[in-house]
Amino acid sequence: MSRPRPKLKVLDLKRPTLDTRFHIDYTWWEESNLDLKTYLYSRLGIGEDAALDMGVEQVDLVDPETGEVRRVDGFQYALQAYFSQMPDDFVTHASLVDAVFYVLLANANKPMTARELAEAVGRDPDVVLKTIAGGRVYQGIKPIFEEEE
């Protein structure tokens, strides 16, 4: 009697590398017990004066490199504006995960490689990769594999 073998998807076998791009998966936040706005206000010390809740649901953004116009969530736009105005040394005072999270937020959650993230946060690329590509997902930071796009 033969036993059927489980079928593994190719994505299950892939391991992120230094050239794998990462982004914040907002679906992770929606499915978790955490609320992104509450997390940012309390955990990251964003003051209420930051006006992150603009009351605007969608914002049109123009990509400066491609000229492409895309609609983004108003809250995400406010986050990008807030974090892109932080001092350059802001990420050096944060934990590695928080620093990567800040950089992705400031970059409008545009996918970045582990190398790019490491350069932006001033940390060793191998350490960044091991931290954000491990078995646990921190703050919704996930790899993007080419098959997913």
- Look at residue 80 in the predicted model and tell me its pLDDT: 74
Listed residue (55, 49, 35) closest to 82, CA to CA = 49
Would you state the pLDDT for residue 149?
46
Got the DSSP string for 75-125?
HHHHHHHHHHTS-GGGGGGS-HHHHHHHHHHHTTT--EEHHHHHHHHTS-H
Low-confidence ranges of the chain (pLDDT < 70): 1-13, 43-56, 147-149
Residue 141 has a pLDDT of 95
pLDDT of residue 114: 96
pLDDT of residue 97: 93
Q: Where are the domains of the chain?
A: 16-148
Residue 6, pLDDT score: 62
Distance CA 138, CA 131 (A): 9
3-state helix, strand, coil in the chain (%, to 5): 45, 15, 40
